[in-house]
Structure 1
């Protein structure tokens, strides 16, 4: 529901700023609401999560970064319906990098090169 008017599978970067969830020594309200729904207190949540976390929730991918200069890791990845698998994967990587670069360009500290790491389960 939260992303209803900010979700564009045909243009994954569109709305990405709205879908970026951050913890920067204070809790993003969306994470706090989710924790409350499963019975976690704010104190328990702060103990479980890092003090600095960025979470990108994009069409076909969820990725995260711990700390300001940490590596970006892919938590979940799915291929769009239709199209060839190899071509689709290449477009997704290009899209992911450009979305994250757009968000990081405004930073004052020099950006680190991307060390993409996929977490699979």
Structure 2
């Protein structure tokens, strides 16, 4: 689980362009901690698809700010909009695989 979370957080951190390196590192640290806590008990290496929706990081019109991303921002004393992430994207953090999709019509790609 740790390897997949590190990959997801690293990918998201690389998308952040507007902030100082120190702020991005603090955000990454907070996000890593919250994802590890959230995914504990919801990680099924023998059945990676099980719990996939629960482990999804989603930003879209109905829910602009993913709760874990928002929490990491608050803990890092920054605003969600400071991240500058794509407005519509989905990331699935599953055992042995992290995939991302920009928009709702595009194909997902491996992170």
Partners of 1:35 and 1:63 in 2: CA distance: 22
The answer for the alignment partner of 2:82 in structure 1 is 44
Q: CA deviation at 1:4?
A: 0.9
Q: How many residues align?
A: 73
Q: 1:17, CA displacement in angstroms?
A: 1.3
SS state at 1:10 partner: coil
1:2-81 pair list within 5 angstroms: 2-25=38-61, 26-45=64-83, 48-75=84-111
Deviations 1:78-108 (A, max 9, x none): xxxxxxxxxxxxxxxxxxxxxxxxxxxxxxx
TM-score by length of 1: 0.55
Gaps of 5+ in 1: 76-121
1:10–1:65 CA distance, 2 compared to 1 (3 A): same
Name the one with the larger strand percent.
1
**What do the CA deviations read for 1:24-63 (whole angstroms, capped 9, x no partner)?**
0311111111233344312212xx1111011101011111
TM-score (norm 2): 0.60
Measured after TM superposition, the shift of residue 14 of structure 1 is: 0.9
User: Highest relative contact order (Cα 8 Å, sep 6+), 1 or 2?
Assistant: 2
Q: CA RMSD in A?
A: 1.4
